[in-house]
Structure 1
Amino acid sequence: MNIPPVAAAFAADLIVFIHLLYVLFAVGGELLIVIGAIARRRWVRNRLFRFLHLGAVLLVAAESLLDITCPLTEWEYRLRIIAGQRAEGDITFIGRLIRSIIFYDFPSLFFTVLYVGFGLLVLSTFILIPPGHKKYR
């Protein structure tokens, strides 16, 4: 496949943006669930939302435990190479800005503990505030 460098750079930035949305869904979803439960909002019991949220978070925790690189990161890196960019260096402003929000230079064990801990938190929330319960009005 022959992708023009400009298109590859744009696609890499788009993937970084999608990655950011994924992170916002995982972290923001947990915050919304807890706040919504405290405020007794029915939408926090939505089964589809809750199962998608739990699955998204547990997927990241499992990838971390199994030492699997996120597919979004892999695709972005490959597109950066096609674009003639280094994955960590000379990327576009938007790509660099978004990456600075979601990627940090810490040891991998730190992220494994963080992701698994967050996965356990979300699983606990899922159990304590179960989806589909009709108790709230």
Structure 2
Amino acid sequence: MTALSPALAAHLADAILLLHVGIVVFVLLGALAIPLGAWRQWRWVRGFRWRLTHVLLMAGIALQAWLGALCPLTVWEQALRERAGQASYGDSFIAHWLARLIFFEAPWSLFVAAYTGFALLVIAAWFAVPPRRGR
């Protein structure tokens, strides 16, 4: 990263942050859309690639938490922010923003439990509202 200017590093960090927010929104709203879509008979909620992406993302998030690893997007964003001379944070993306949004501080084990529970919910939705291949 030595070739990056601080301004470019800041823009890249912001782009990673937007991507990260997009993934969080996709995972959260996707989990809500599956049962709602099954009830409303929305065909797209049974799309195989969409559902596979959803379940793999959540399983990966839970696995990272169990391993005590930060999300690579968090690591990259923090490194770019440091290169840009901006402040970074030491927790996971979710832990940091939850703390900032609702002043909620908790041990990492609580986030591991939350990620695991949410991953189990997403996996249960896979079976309760099974995806379909093809049209």
**TM bucket, shorter chain:** 0.7 to 0.9
- Could you say which residue in structure 1 is the equivalent of 2:102? none
- Could you say which residue in structure 1 is the equivalent of 2:122? 122
- Call closer, same or farther: CA 1:112–1:55 in 2, change over 3 Å: same
Q: Which amino acid in structure 2 is aligned with residue 43 of structure 1?
A: W
* Local SS of the residue matching 2:111: helix
Aligned residues: 125
Q: Which amino acid in structure 1 is aligned with residue 63 of structure 2?
A: A
Cα offset, 1:13, TM superposition: 1.0
- Cα shift readout 1:63-121 (whole Å, capped 9, x = no counterpart): 00111110000001100110011204xxxxxxxxx989944343211110110000000
Report which structure shows greater RCO (CA 8 Å, sep ≥6).
1
- Could you say which residue in structure 2 is the equivalent of 1:78? 79
How far, CA to CA, are the matches of 2:130 and 2:12 in structure 1? Answer: 38
* Contact 2:82 2:88 (C-alpha < 8 Å) held by counterparts: yes
Q: TM-score, normalised by structure 1?
A: 0.83
Q: Percent identity?
A: 34
Q: Check if 1:18 corresponds to 2:19.
A: yes
Q: Which amino acid in structure 2 is aligned with residue 29 of structure 1?
A: G
**4+ aligned runs moved over 3 Å, structure 1:** 98-103
Gaps of 5+ in 1: 89-97
Q: TM-score, normalised by structure 2?
A: 0.85
- Cα shift readout 1:108-137 (whole Å, capped 9, x = no counterpart): 111101100000000001011111179xxx
Please report the RMSD computed on the Cα atoms of aligned residues, expressed in angstroms: 2.2
Cα offset, 1:28, TM superposition: 0.6
